[in-house]
């Protein structure tokens, strides 16, 4: 029998089944009594609301506490209820093992990532994130993980997955960076490297065939990578356009890792759906964002954590990363402040890959508020805006017809957004996975 990465994840998932119980199965009709409800649309919070649920969908929102005949009542009358949160930039198969990408490349396997990821997705769901857009992982592993969650083999959030990001030789995401030249001859090590429009089109079609929902590209250099400069545009406009046009023709959105102004401005004008990071954007960039309707995913949490690591423990990072992190970390906060003030659309995303732990995603909210976003707008970035970026009318808000994905906290997150770091109740698709602060999975 030939065992591939997907088979390894499936075997690990079956072992997981023996160790965890399935989510609590809800009655066919359920009503949630919410003391306060923030519906995710940006509308004002409502007091004393009933959320009616049939199977996995919300059927109605009614004022007051009503109890339809035969419905099971979930009493959250002393809580604030919100939609399940959405992180639009996660790497949910990635943990922190070393700040040295070369060491990781030659010692870690996709099988280990697959096994660890079963815990990461559980932690993320229990933190109140019922939907996640994964912006870069081994394609076979992340697609198998998504299928395992969709098939109720393991618990986790709904996943939208990019698979392996696409970028140029020597760019952010080129696995050969920093290695001896002969490593470039390892089979498939450079399958994600695209150095022409034709290679770009083929790579997008291959990812679609392998199960990716969206495409992630690397038009600029990065922070964690070796030998590139975040300010430089490393993909040509023709390569970027080939990716975007091909992806859109297949019904796939495109997310672009872009720090430098040139890469940001060009990629937006070529039709990208979101810019991840956007560190060196300026007033001219924000006008282009608004002209084309692209989202900014500011990834404040990773910027904060890598900056702290570079200041306090630079020995844990490669020297190139430590140097870049000291510059990029503060820029991300300034960028969000200026972008929000300019009216750019913002979607919540953390870039979690181990510098912050999976399940700590909500720490992004406090950083967004610190950068000048009102708490309600930060919440909207993780609900309605995030769902819009995903292209989904099924998640993101508490409205009739949407999935019954909801969370509850004790306090008022509009007064103290850090309440969202202490989610005590989680429901996904009508099934309770956390209640009274205790996991049900």
DSSP 177-241: TTS-GGGGGSTTTTTTB--SHHHHHHHHHHHHHHT-SEEEE--B--SSSSS--TTSB-S-HHHHH
- Max intra-chain CA distance, the chain: 70
- Choose between 226 and 250: higher pLDDT: 250
Alpha carbons 181 and 192: distance in angstroms, whole number:
17
In this prediction, residue 226 carries a pLDDT of: 81
Q: State the average pLDDT over residues 112-140.
A: 97
Mean pLDDT rounded to a whole number for the chain: 92
- In 3D space, the residue among 316, 303, 314, 294 whose CA is nearest the CA of residue 356 turns out to be 303
Assess whether pLDDT exceeds 80 at residue 162. yes
Q: Give the side-chain half-sphere CA count within 13 A for 413.
A: 34
29-83+398-439 matches 85-390 in fold: no
- In 3D space, the residue among 342, 246, 255 whose CA is nearest the CA of residue 295 turns out to be 255
Alpha carbons 186 and 139: distance in angstroms, whole number:
18
Q: What is the pLDDT of residues 404-431, one digit of tens each?
A: 999 999 999 999 999 999 999 999 999 9
Q: Are 427 and 404 in contact (CB under 8 A)?
A: yes
Assess whether pLDDT exceeds 90 at residue 239. yes
Q: State the average pLDDT over residues 289-311.
A: 97
Alpha carbons 334 and 371: distance in angstroms, whole number:
7
Residue 5 to residues 95, 213, 305, 354, 367, Cα–Cα distance (Å): 17, 19, 30, 21, 36
In this prediction, residue 110 carries a pLDDT of: 86
Q: Are 40 and 47 in contact (CB under 8 A)?
A: no
In this prediction, residue 24 carries a pLDDT of: 52
Assess whether pLDDT exceeds 50 at residue 119. yes
- Choose between 97 and 57: higher pLDDT: 57
Alpha carbons 206 and 201: distance in angstroms, whole number:
9
Alpha carbons 23 and 209: distance in angstroms, whole number:
31
Assess whether pLDDT exceeds 80 at residue 269. yes
Of the listed ranges 102-111, 249-258, 347-356, 429-438, the one predicted with least confidence: 102-111
- Choose between 297 and 172: higher pLDDT: 297
Assess whether pLDDT exceeds 90 at residue 308. yes
Domain limits, the chain: 29-83+398-439, 85-390
Q: Are 189 and 175 in contact (CB under 8 A)?
A: yes
Q: What is the pLDDT of residues 191-215, one digit of tens each?
A: 789 999 999 999 999 999 999 999 9
For 84-104, what is the HEC assignment?
A: CEEEEEECCCCCCCCECHHHH
In this prediction, residue 247 carries a pLDDT of: 99
Q: State the average pLDDT over residues 327-340.
A: 96
Assess whether pLDDT exceeds 50 at residue 396. yes
Assess whether pLDDT exceeds 90 at residue 10. no
Q: Are 127 and 120 in contact (CB under 8 A)?
A: no
The percent of residues in the chain predicted with pLDDT above 70, rounded, is 88
Assess whether pLDDT exceeds 60 at residue 53. yes
Band (pLDDT 50/70/90 cuts) for residue 148 is very high
Q: What is the pLDDT of residues 309-327, one digit of tens each?
A: 999 999 888 888 899 999 9
Homologous superfamily of domain range 85-390: Metal-dependent hydrolases (3.20.20.140)
- We find that the CATH architecture of domain 29-83+398-439 is Roll (2.30)
Assess whether pLDDT exceeds 70 at residue 187. no
Assess whether pLDDT exceeds 80 at residue 15. no
In this prediction, residue 178 carries a pLDDT of: 64
In this prediction, residue 183 carries a pLDDT of: 66
Q: What is the pLDDT of residues 341-352, one digit of tens each?
A: 999 999 999 999
Strand order in the sheet with 46-54: 57-63, 46-54, 29-37, 72-83, 406-409, 425-428, 431-435, 438-439
The answer to pTM > 0.85 is yes
């Amino acid at each position: 029998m030939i065992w591939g990465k997907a088979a390894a994840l499936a075997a690990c998932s079956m072992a997981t089944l023996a160790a965890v119980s399935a989510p609590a199965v809800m009655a066919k009709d359920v009503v949630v009594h919410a003391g306060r409800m923030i519906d995710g649309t940006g509308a004002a919070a409502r007091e004393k609301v009933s959320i009616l649920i049939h199977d996995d969908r919300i059927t109605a929102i009614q004022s007051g506490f009503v109890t339809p005949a035969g419905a099971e009542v979930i009493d959250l009358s002393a809580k604030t209820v919100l939609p399940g949160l959405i992180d639009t930039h996660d790497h949910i198969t990635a943990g922190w093992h070393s700040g040295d990408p070369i060491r990781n490349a030659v010692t870690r396997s996709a099988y280990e990532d697959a096994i660890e990821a079963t815990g990461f997705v559980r932690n993320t769901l229990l933190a109140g994130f019922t939907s996640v857009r994964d912006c870069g992982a081994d394609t076979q592993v992340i697609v198998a993980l998504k299928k395992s969650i969709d098939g109720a083999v393991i618990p986790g959030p709904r996943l939208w997955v990019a698979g392996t990001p696409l970028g140029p030789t020597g760019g952010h995401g080129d696995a050969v960076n920093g290695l001896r030249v002969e490593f470039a001859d390892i089979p498939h090590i450079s399958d994600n490297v695209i150095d022409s429009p034709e290679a770009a089109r083929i790579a997008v079609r291959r990812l679609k065939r392998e199960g990716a929902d969206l495409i992630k590209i690397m038009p600029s250099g990065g922070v964690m990578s070796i030998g590139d400069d975040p300010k430089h545009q490393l993909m040509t406009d023709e390569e970027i356009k080939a990716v975007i046009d091909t992806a859109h023709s297949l019904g796939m959105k495109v997310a672009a890792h872009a720090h430098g102004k040139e890469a940001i401005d060009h990629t937006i004008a070529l039709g990208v759906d979101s810019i991840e990071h956007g560190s060196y954007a300026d007033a001219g960039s924000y006008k282009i964002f608004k002209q084309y309707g692209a989202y900014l995913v500011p990834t404040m949490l990773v910027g904060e954590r890598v900056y702290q690591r570079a200041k306090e423990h630079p020995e844990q990072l490669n020297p190139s990363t430590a140097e870049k992190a000291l510059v990029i970390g503060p820029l991300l906060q300034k960028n969000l402040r200026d972008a929000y003030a300019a009216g750019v659309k913002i979607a919540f995303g953390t870039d979690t890959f181990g510098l912050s732990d999976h399940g700590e995603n909500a720490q992004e909210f406090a950083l967004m508020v610190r950068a000048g976003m009102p708490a309600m707008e930060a919440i909207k970035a993780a609900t309605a805006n995030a769902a819009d970026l995903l292209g989904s009318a099924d998640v993101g808000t508490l409205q009739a017809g949407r999935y019954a994905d909801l969370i509850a906290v004790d306090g008022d997150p509009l007064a103290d957004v850090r309440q969202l770091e202490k989610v005590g109740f989680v429901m996904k698709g009508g099934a309770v996975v956390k209640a009274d602060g205790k996991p049900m999975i």
